[in-house]
Amino acid sequence: MRLELKGIHKRFGSVHANDDISVTIEAGTIHGLLGENGAGKSTLMKVLSGFIHRDAGEILLDGAPVEFKTPAEAIRAGVGMLHQDPLDFPPLRVLDNFLLGRADGLWLKRAQARANLRKFCHQFGFAFDPDAFVSSLTVGERQQLEIMRLLSLGAKILIFDEPTTGISLPQKIKLFDTLRSLAQQGMTIIFVTHKLQDAEDLCRKVTVLRLGRVTGEVARPFTADQLVRLMFGQSLETQARESIALGEAVLELREVCIGDYRLRVPDINLQVRAGEVIGLAGIEGSGQRLCLRACAGLDQPLAGEIRIAGERMNRQPYNKFQDRGVAYLPAGRLEEGLVPGLNLTEHLILAERSNEFFVNWKAASSHAQSRINEYSIRGMPASRVEALSGGNQQRALLALLQPNLRLVLLEHPTRGLDIESSLWVWRQLLERRRRGAAILFSSADLDEIFEYSDRILVFSGGRVAKALRAKETSVQQLGELIGGKGLGIGD
Ligand SMILES: Nc1ncnc2c1ncn2[C@@H]1O[C@H](COP(=O)(O)OP(=O)(O)O)[C@@H](O)[C@H]1O
Ligand SMILES: [Mg+2]
């Protein structure tokens, strides 16, 4: 099916999420939709799949205008979408999820559905137990199940919204194979991503969106540089690191032991001075998160002493750490960092930690607007935080930080963000550092660790290595440490 989107407009209040977007997608191809977070990709795809309604514009399938009021209507016409956040039902079994959305009743056709599911599994080389619970599946498997469900409902155009987020490399390779084979069988695939590499690897043509508009369309062979320019307006350069004089000790860990029911990391000794950036490296779950949380008073260390600016802080709550200029930004931005259901104005009011009983809403809202401008958040004072894209949620978290912090603790500060947002986040952090804050951050991205850390703390197998100077450490050394070499007992 050949698909045309013509002059699509969609506004959310003052945000023009789709501003006159036109795209044509040929049948049987993999077409990329590339753009940074907040560019308007998901909005366009939700319009196409009947999930939300456009303000203006036309959708044509094989030349004929179509109007989808609901996703069910879209799928009947052959358009199915895999959402960025899976829309399956984890407490249900595989077979029941496979049957969702069928008009012909859940009960009579179970035997037939089983056979059908087996047929699809065979076709794509997937392995599923129809009676397993979806909650036991990996994200990659849940995608596979959703692909089969949409195909069984008759989808001819499949939309994948950021499908490579949160899946492992082998799963990604499998997914890409599946997408290629779907295209070979005549399906039209729309692949939505903010990752250049993925678009380059997979797509025959790529349409690039920026701030709600199409900035260009390129066909193979294209270069990364071309795509970057369309995504960001110009090629990005990494910024040169400014060296600054270190101040007094902000954080001290003395013989600290952290742990939970499954992990114990003893003997952490560290002194961090004002203006220093420390990267915490290691395989996820090796104690980096526990360490950051202990430094914020969110978890108690099992032993040892934690000092902030000279004062012993053991057994103090987070708000006492806050009083001493500490802030913690979790990786779960929406789950832990923000409060879903509350808007930006309400967040700023909470972050002020004021004792006033009454809120001056008018002042609060205009204050929120000025922060939104200052931090280039794509949203409004009344926008609920769950409606913001990941990058804008991270901007919002940074906007909530008090001005004069001593110590900023961040878990995966740029995870899931596009290049430009990541650079922006670090510009903010380095500006804080210039004003005398110390920064401790964890990251799974070694480039990020090397680029921004003065010193690196490696967590591995229940141990922490002595902090390494980033400038004097090679990637190979770091890799070996992360893998557990040189961290053995008695080391
Ligand atoms: N339901 C909504 N309400 C208000 N604003 C929204 C909503 N959905 C998206 N937006 C805004 O529209 C813009 C585009 O978002 P989105 O389409 O999700 O971008 P992308 O998928 O490219 O990251 C963003 O600024 C986002 O905050
Ligand atoms: Mg999106």
446-479 pLDDT, tens per residue?
778 888 999 999 998 789 988 999 888 877 677 7
10 lines ligand 1 (CB under 6 A): no
Domain end: 169, 198, 232, which one?
Answer: 232
Domain assignment present for 339: no
From ligand 1's centre to the CA of 339, what distance in Å?
18
Is residue 324 pLDDT above 90, yes or no?
yes
From ligand 2's centre to the CA of 21, what distance in Å?
16
Single-letter amino acid, residue 433? R
From ligand 2's centre to the CA of 490, what distance in Å?
48
Q: Are residues 60 and 172 in the same domain?
A: yes
Closest approach atom of ligand 1 to CA 52: 1
Alpha-carbon distance of 19 to 265, in angstroms, equals 52
Q: Are residues 224 and 253 in the same domain?
A: no
Closest approach atom of ligand 1 to CA 379: 27
Higher pLDDT, 54 or 230: 54
Residue 370 is predicted with a pLDDT of 94
From ligand 1's centre to the CA of 76, what distance in Å?
26
Query: Which residue from 202, 192, 314, 195 is spatially nearest to 252, judged by alpha carbons?
Result: 314
Domain assignment present for 107: yes
Residue 234 is predicted with a pLDDT of 56
Q: Are residues 155 and 279 in the same domain?
A: no
15 lines ligand 1 (CB under 6 A): yes
* Dihedral sign for Cα atoms in the order 395, 397, 400, 403: negative
Query: Which residue from 375, 395, 376 is spatially nearest to 385, judged by alpha carbons?
Result: 395
287 lines ligand 1 (CB under 6 A): no
Query: Which residue from 20, 74, 27 is spatially nearest to 44, judged by alpha carbons?
Result: 20
CATH number of the domain within which 152 lies: 3.40.50.300
Exposure of 370 by Cβ count < 10 A (0-12 exposed, 13-18 middle, 19+ buried)? exposed
Alpha-carbon distance of 491 to 267, in angstroms, equals 12
What is the mean pLDDT of the segment spanning 395-408?
Answer: 94
pLDDT in tens, 8-27: 999 998 789 999 999 999 99
Domain assignment present for 280: yes
What is the mean pLDDT of the segment spanning 262-268?
Answer: 91
From ligand 2's centre to the CA of 372, what distance in Å?
20
Closest approach atom of ligand 1 to CA 161: 21
Q: Are residues 223 and 288 in the same domain?
A: no
Q: Are residues 219 and 293 in the same domain?
A: no
**What would the two tokens of residue 370 be?**
């000025």
Is residue 235 pLDDT above 50, yes or no?
no
Domain assignment present for 153: yes
Given a contact cutoff of 8 angstroms between Cβ atoms, the answer to whether 131 and 93 are in contact is: yes
392 lines ligand 1 (CB under 6 A): yes
Domain end: 232, 258, 273, which one?
Answer: 232
pLDDT in tens, 112-135: 889 989 999 998 888 999 999 998
Residue 344 is predicted with a pLDDT of 96
Q: Are residues 228 and 253 in the same domain?
A: no
Per-residue burial over 71-96, b = 16 or more CB atoms within 10 Å of its CB, e = otherwise: beebbbbbbbbbbbebebeeeebbbb
Given a contact cutoff of 8 angstroms between Cβ atoms, the answer to whether 6 and 57 are in contact is: yes
Q: Are residues 38 and 186 in the same domain?
A: yes
**What would the two tokens of residue 465 be?**
């290595």
Residue 348 is predicted with a pLDDT of 94
* Dihedral sign for Cα atoms in the order 295, 297, 299, 304: positive
Residue 225 is predicted with a pLDDT of 73
From ligand 2's centre to the CA of 129, what distance in Å?
31
**What would the two tokens of residue 327 be?**
């802030």
Pocket test for ligand 1, best of 389, 393, 395, 421 (most atoms within 8 A of CB): 389
Domain end: 199, 232, 265, which one?
Answer: 232
Closest approach atom of ligand 1 to CA 192: 21
Domain assignment present for 284: yes
Angle at 478 (CA atoms; ends 476, 479), nearest 5 degrees: 65
* 64: containing domain: 3-232
Number of domain units in the chain: 2
275 lines ligand 1 (CB under 6 A): no
What is the mean pLDDT of the segment spanning 300-326?
Answer: 95
Given a contact cutoff of 8 angstroms between Cβ atoms, the answer to whether 18 and 47 are in contact is: yes
DSSP state of 406: S
User: Which ligand ends up closest to the CA of 165?
Assistant: 2
User: Which residue's alpha carbon is at the smallest distance from atom 5 of ligand 1?
Assistant: 12
Is residue 485 pLDDT above 70, yes or no?
no
pLDDT in tens, 340-372: 999 999 999 999 888 888 889 999 999 999 999
Residue 63 is predicted with a pLDDT of 93
Around ion ligand 2, which residues have CB less than 5 A away? 42
In angstroms, the Cα distances linking 324 to 65, 191, 308, 355 are 61, 47, 7, 18
Q: Are residues 254 and 218 in the same domain?
A: no
Domain assignment present for 380: no
Q: Are residues 71 and 209 in the same domain?
A: yes
Compute the half-sphere exposure of residue 43: CA atoms within 13 Å on the CB side of its CA. 27
Domain assignment present for 97: yes
Q: Are residues 171 and 274 in the same domain?
A: no
From ligand 2's centre to the CA of 84, what distance in Å?
6
389 lines ligand 1 (CB under 6 A): yes
Query: Which residue from 18, 17, 15 is spatially nearest to 7, judged by alpha carbons?
Result: 18
Is residue 293 pLDDT above 80, yes or no?
yes
User: Which residue's alpha carbon is at the smallest distance from atom 14 of ligand 1?
Assistant: 40
For residue 133, list its beta bridge partners: 93
Strands 468-469 and 455-460 turn out to be: antiparallel
Domain assignment present for 217: yes
User: Which residue's alpha carbon is at the smallest distance from atom 16 of ligand 1?
Assistant: 40
From ligand 1's centre to the CA of 400, what distance in Å?
20
Residue 13 is predicted with a pLDDT of 83
Alpha-carbon distance of 482 to 460, in angstroms, equals 6
Per-residue burial over 287-318, b = 16 or more CB atoms within 10 Å of its CB, e = otherwise: bbbbbbbbbbbbbebeebebbbbeeebeebee
Q: Are residues 311 and 455 in the same domain?
A: yes
Per-residue burial over 7-39, b = 16 or more CB atoms within 10 Å of its CB, e = otherwise: ebbbeeeebbbbbebebebeebbbbbbbbbbbb
Which parts of 167-214 fold into alpha helices (H)? 169-184, 196-202
Q: Are residues 258 and 225 in the same domain?
A: no
Given a contact cutoff of 8 angstroms between Cβ atoms, the answer to whether 167 and 141 are in contact is: no
Give 486's pLDDT tier (boundaries 50, 70, 90). low
In the chain, what percentage of residues exceed pLDDT 70?
95
43 lines ligand 1 (CB under 6 A): yes
Q: What is the crossing angle of helices 169-184 and 139-152, to 10°?
A: 20
Given a contact cutoff of 8 angstroms between Cβ atoms, the answer to whether 460 and 282 are in contact is: yes
User: Which ligand ends up closest to the CA of 17?
Assistant: 1
User: Which residue's alpha carbon is at the smallest distance from atom 20 of ligand 1?
Assistant: 38
381 lines ligand 1 (CB under 6 A): no
Single-letter amino acid, residue 206? V
User: Which residue's alpha carbon is at the smallest distance from atom 12 of ligand 1?
Assistant: 17
